[in-house]
Chains A and B, each alone.
Chain A
């Protein structure tokens, strides 16, 4: 290449980079309504179209499902929905029926109530049942269905039935049968929830699930602590005849040894005499279900 040619090449290259930067400054492509588009929704059609690339396409749909969940969860626009979550997970698991993580994570994503998720436990159950059909020896899937009934639908009879079914698998852990019994006897109690999460924390291999279970356990601890603090605040109100303005006032009055912090290390909130998690606590929001975690 001559010097003139090299110079031309560099100038053109700089032009391409510069124009791309201008493009970026201008905000990229004009807004379109096709961002949430899924051209093929039918798992049967996609399986045929995939030819021999089923697994790879399943991976792509899985990555897309995670991105869809993540971006929708972080979106500030209240209109943003998790519309594609189930279709993406349905396609992922149709293309690769052995993609166990897609069933487990997918059901968690789907069942999570707004604003963290779409709050569609029925779809979570449908996904898990599909998984159980494809992988009939996985007791974990039956347990997960029971879990959705327990935690998100508060249907403890159905939850206990699924835990019982999970306990009947050849390779099921020994704690599954007692879990079913406890669920039936004390479904919805904070203690039975603690037992459920503890077993999940100890039983699963995946680090994300372990962390999630540990977070739920810390939430239950925080709820216990909030109950205790609420009693202390009540005692203060009775004595002082007014609601405390903050933890400092209670601490100075000798009701508390210091500012109380939740298991994640964030100070609890106290507003108008109501105790709750402090702003910015990683344990927030506390579970809305089961409804009567007493």
Chain B
């Protein structure tokens, strides 16, 4: 456990050295600039649009980090040949994989946490710029804490993407890993179509196959409740808990697969 922690801290430090956290500046600039410009363009919908944009930006920046750092976690060590010196030390291969994963998860956590703080700060400032007569027309208060539920699920989605990227990176090139991860993320948003595939095809085999994929492929669409929280629509805690459990189990499954594949790899 101690070793996993040390590897994780090293991954985090490396991401800081690689200036990954610079995206936080980009996020802040984007949000402030857009907040300033939107009032002229949106016919009174600026608060809703800033919320949409802020949540989408948190997810997008996180996805870029999760995919493009996730695919290099193992590959970089192999490419630099530092894997040989690492594995010659008393480190188990599963500790290496879990440590790498935990490090990127820590980087993502810091990113999401800082972006969330900046997001709420911008919303709190904007809230002071509107009279009460306008505020009452909003479907939810500017700094509605209910949005944290969406951010929690965004973070879980990022952890799942990282696990997917890490899984693919244990046996394929970075380019292929990125393509597979992004492909799976896209397919993961079509789960509803897979479920109702029997409505568009006649072949029962194809319908069963699609149904099987529906259960097997990661349902990324389930993590997206941004629209609901922006309108303060009810999102039961039961849904959040079930989705969190689904994400955690899927991550565990992918990490188990990644460890199994990595343990069998021959680096001689």
Interface of B is mostly: helix
**A81 interface hit (Cβ, 8 Å):** no
**A62 interface hit (Cβ, 8 Å):** yes
Whether the Cβ atoms of A55 and B44 lie closer than 8 Å is no
Within residues 22 to 50 of chain B, which ones have a CB less than 8 A from any CB in chain A? 41-45, 48-49
Whether the Cβ atoms of A55 and B52 lie closer than 8 Å is yes
Stretch of B67-75, B164-172, B198-206, B222-230 on the interface side? B222-230
Stretch of B117-125, B186-194, B251-259 on the interface side? B186-194
**B184 interface hit (Cβ, 8 Å):** no
Within residues 47 to 76 of chain A, which ones have a CB less than 8 A from any CB in chain B? 48, 51-56, 58-59, 62-63, 66-67
With A52-B59, A96-B227 known as contacts, the answer to whether A207 contacts B134 (CB < 8 A) is yes
Whether the Cβ atoms of B134 and A59 lie closer than 8 Å is no
Question: Least Cβ distance of A171 to chain B in Å?
Answer: 15
With A48-B193, A52-B59, A52-B220 known as contacts, the answer to whether A59 contacts B227 (CB < 8 A) is no
With A63-B42, A66-B42 known as contacts, the answer to whether A52 contacts B48 (CB < 8 A) is no
Whether the Cβ atoms of B227 and A208 lie closer than 8 Å is no
Give the docked Cα–Cα distance between A48 and B44 (Å). 28
Nearest chain-B residue to A58 (Cβ)?
A: B52
Give the docked Cα–Cα distance between A52 and B60 (Å). 10
Whether the Cβ atoms of B189 and A55 lie closer than 8 Å is no
**B78 interface hit (Cβ, 8 Å):** no
Whether the Cβ atoms of B45 and A101 lie closer than 8 Å is yes
Whether the Cβ atoms of B56 and A53 lie closer than 8 Å is yes
**A24 interface hit (Cβ, 8 Å):** no
Q: In the assembled complex, which residues on chain B have CB atoms less than 8 Å from the CB atom of A96? A: 227
**B231 interface hit (Cβ, 8 Å):** yes
**A79 interface hit (Cβ, 8 Å):** no
Whether the Cβ atoms of B186 and A59 lie closer than 8 Å is no
**B221 interface hit (Cβ, 8 Å):** yes
**A105 interface hit (Cβ, 8 Å):** yes
Question: Least Cβ distance of A292 to chain B in Å?
Answer: 33
Q: In the assembled complex, which residues on chain B have CB atoms less than 8 Å from the CB atom of A98? A: 139, 227, 231, 233
With A52-B224, A55-B52 known as contacts, the answer to whether A101 contacts B44 (CB < 8 A) is yes
Whether the Cβ atoms of B186 and A51 lie closer than 8 Å is yes
Give the docked Cα–Cα distance between A105 and B43 (Å). 9
Q: In the assembled complex, which residues on chain A have CB atoms less than 8 Å from the CB atom of B53? A: 56, 59
With A48-B190, A66-B43, A205-B137 known as contacts, the answer to whether A59 contacts B49 (CB < 8 A) is yes
Given A48-B190, A55-B230, 7 further pairs, Cβ under 8 A: A51-B189, A52-B226, A55-B52, A59-B49, A66-B42, A101-B44, A208-B43
Binding site for A on B (CB under 8 A): 41-45, 48-49, 52-53, 55-56, 59, 133-134, 136-137, 139, 185-186, 189-190, 193, 220-221, 223-224, 226-227, 230-231, 233
The 4 closest A-B pairs by CB, nearest first: A205-B137, A52-B224, A55-B52, A59-B49
Binding site for B on A (CB under 8 A): 48, 51-56, 58-59, 62-63, 66-67, 96, 98, 101, 105, 205-208
